[in-house]
Amino acid sequence: MIRDIVIYPDKRLKEVSKEVTQFNDKLHTLLDDMYDTMVVKNGVGLAAIQVGVRLRVLIINIPIENGRRGESEQPKENTLEIINPILLETDGYTKHQEGCLSIPGIFEDVERASHVKIEYQDRYGEKHLIEDDEFLAIALQHEIDHLNGKIFIEKLSFIKRKKFEKEWKKHRNNTL
C-alpha cells in the first residue's frame, strides 16, 4: 500500500526515531508499504519517518538497468531492509549529488564519507554486517541521517542553504 510522504519542512523530519523491538507483521507491512511508496515515487531509499513512522527502519533499492528497453528497474528482492543500523566505521571522502523524496525536485552536492561499515537487523531480527565504498555507502549515510532527524540540506553551506530555502518556497508555491 502506498503511504503519504512527509514533506519538508514538516517537523517530523527532525524527530529521532526509536529502536525497533518487535519484528512482527506490523513491521513487515511497514517495510512492504515503504517499498511500494519508494518505487511509485522513483526513489532509491526511504526512511520510516518519511512515511510518518518514528522507527529506526530504512530501505534502499538501487535501480538496475534493463538493457533491452533502456529502463531501470527495482525488483523487490533487491531491496535492502535495514533495521536498527549501527555505524561501525566511516572513512574517506566523497561528494555526490543527492535528492530526497521529502524534498522533491531538489538535488544538491553533499560531502560524505566514501566508505562505511554498518551492523543492522533484518525484518526477522537477524543481525548482519554490510560494507560499501560506492553509491550504497552514500545512500546508507543519507537514510541513517533521517533516523537521527537530519536531512541532507543541513549539510549545505550557509549560502547554499539560503539559496535552497528561497528556491523551495518558490517551488512549493508553484506546486500547491
**Footprint of Co ion (CB under 5 A):** 100
Instruction: Provide the minimum distance between the beta carbon of 114 and Co ion in the complex, in angstroms, as a whole number.
Output: 19
* Residue whose beta carbon is closest to Co ion: 100
Catalytic residue among 89, 98, 143, 165: 143
- How many of the other CB atoms lie within 10 Å of CB of 39? 19
Q: Which three cell numbers stand for residue 54?
A: 518514528
The backbone region for 107, taken as left when phi is positive above 0, alpha when psi lies in -120 to 50, beta otherwise, is beta
Closer residue to Co ion (CB): 121 or 143: 143
Instruction: Please say if 15 is a catalytic residue.
Output: no
145 half-sphere exposure, CB direction, 13 A CA radius: 18
Q: Is the Cα dihedral 22, 16, 38, 73 positive or negative?
A: negative
Instruction: Provide the minimum distance between the beta carbon of 25 and Co ion in the complex, in angstroms, as a whole number.
Output: 26
Closer residue to Co ion (CB): 34 or 100: 100
Instruction: Provide the minimum distance between the beta carbon of 57 and Co ion in the complex, in angstroms, as a whole number.
Output: 14
Q: Which residues are catalytic?
A: 143
